[in-house]
Amino acid sequence: MFKSLKLKNFRNFENKEFFFTENKNFILGNNWVWKTNILEAISLIYQRNILNKEISNLIKNKENFSYIEIEKDNWDKFGISYDKENNSKNLLINWKKTTKKKFNELLEKVVIFKPMDMNMMYLSPSYRRDFLDDILSNSFEWYDKINKDYKNIVKNRNKLLKSIKEWKCEKREIIFWDKALIQKSREIYNYRLKINSYFENKIWILKELLWLKIDNLQFNYITKIDLNNIETSIENYLIKNLDRDIIIWNTHIWPHVDDFQIILDWFPLINFASRWETKSVILGLKIIETRFIEENTNKETIFLIDDLFSELDEKHELLLLNEISNKQVIITSIKNILNRDIWNFIIDL
């Protein structure tokens, strides 16, 4: 857990310090007071990123240097400094430079709740894939690199497909990238199978946790691959569809086009569920996410909740607060929650 946050030339904050308790911390204020910037700074320390922006874009206007630091309950200080002029970023523990591996080993895990999450099932498949990949990268040290390598392979294969179509290369040259794609896809699926199995086995808890009056609840992973025979399945598809891939310059299947859906009483949630049921299920998925991360890392989790209450009714709010009652939680909100019967610490912006 951490007890303070210092910001120097970060976004709109020139020189600011915030203090937190080990329980629920509420950051209250209107939309224009930059509440999310506080969560963004915390997320960067924990190697997550709420706004998905480079740190170079988060420096206060007209400044060349930025610094973020948290102080933990054991008095250790973890900081990130960025020098815009030299384009250099440093990770520091007690003001001494350190490696990313050492930095992350000594920190808890952060789970982020955003309003957009509550629309997950209505958005494009890419959002749901990112949801799974984000959990995996937060749970397994090497997943980010594997996923990055995989995307580079797909990118290079697609470039070669275009060159083949333009008669600049021969078909046989695709063999190298096909082999690389098969190998890296196998590695991706090794992790995807872990999380798929976990969600399939744990999804039933949502029925009691969320008061859902249904008979059947399933997590259904959608892929064109035979997950019992991954390499052969991919290889056969590549051979069969090479000409089509060349025409459209695109590698059409595998991890980067997979999806998942939630089945309620044998029907897809997005087709038949009410808005209340959908929010209940998505909130439950986030709770399962937390348990998956904790079980695979043996670390405690800290919650960053960005204006989620704007998407939840009071019943769901109380459910979430009860589920995370033993966590350190930082919540931004424009709603007046001071009258709630919960112990909390207020930062009023």
pLDDT digits (tens, 9 = 90+) for 53-82: 677 778 888 888 999 999 998 899 999 999
Structure-model confidence comparison of residues 133 and 85, the more confident one: 133
Helix, strand counts (H, E) of the chain = 11, 14
Q: Quick one: pLDDT at residue 61?
A: 80
pLDDT in tens, 274-317: 777 788 888 889 989 999 999 999 999 999 988 877 777 777 77
Mean of pLDDT values over 209-236: 86
Task: Kindly report the average pLDDT of the chain as a whole number.
Answer: 87
Q: Quick one: pLDDT at residue 343?
A: 46
CA angle 16, 69, 331 (to 5 degrees): 70
Q: Quick one: pLDDT at residue 336?
A: 61
pLDDT band at 2 (very low <50, low <70, confident <90, very high): very high
Q: Quick one: pLDDT at residue 349?
A: 57
Looking at the chain, the domain(s) classified CATH 1.20.1050.90 span: 122-275
Looking at the chain, the domain(s) classified CATH 3.40.50.300 span: 2-108+301-348
In what helix (H) or strand (E) does residue 349 lie, and over which residues does it extend?
Answer: none
CA angle 36, 37, 42 (to 5 degrees): 100
Q: Quick one: pLDDT at residue 306?
A: 87
In what helix (H) or strand (E) does residue 58 lie, and over which residues does it extend?
Answer: none
Structure-model confidence comparison of residues 52 and 72, the more confident one: 72
Q: Quick one: pLDDT at residue 259?
A: 94
Structure-model confidence comparison of residues 41 and 272, the more confident one: 41
The dihedral of CA 231, 233, 234, 240: what is its sign?
positive
Would the pLDDT of 153 be above 80? yes
Would the pLDDT of 173 be above 90? yes
Would the pLDDT of 246 be above 50? yes
d(CA 261, CA 257): 14
pLDDT in tens, 86-124: 888 999 999 999 999 999 999 999 999 888 888 899 899
Class of 2-108+301-348 per CATH? alpha beta
Q: Quick one: pLDDT at residue 33?
A: 58
The 3-state DSSP class for residue 232 equals: helix
Task: Indicate the length of the chain as a whole number.
Answer: 349
In what helix (H) or strand (E) does residue 333 lie, and over which residues does it extend?
Answer: strand 328-333
d(CA 56, CA 53): 8
pLDDT band at 32 (very low <50, low <70, confident <90, very high): low
pTM above 0.85, yes or no: yes
CATH of domain 122-275: 1.20.1050.90
Contact 67, 95 (CB under 8 A): no
Q: Quick one: pLDDT at residue 348?
A: 63
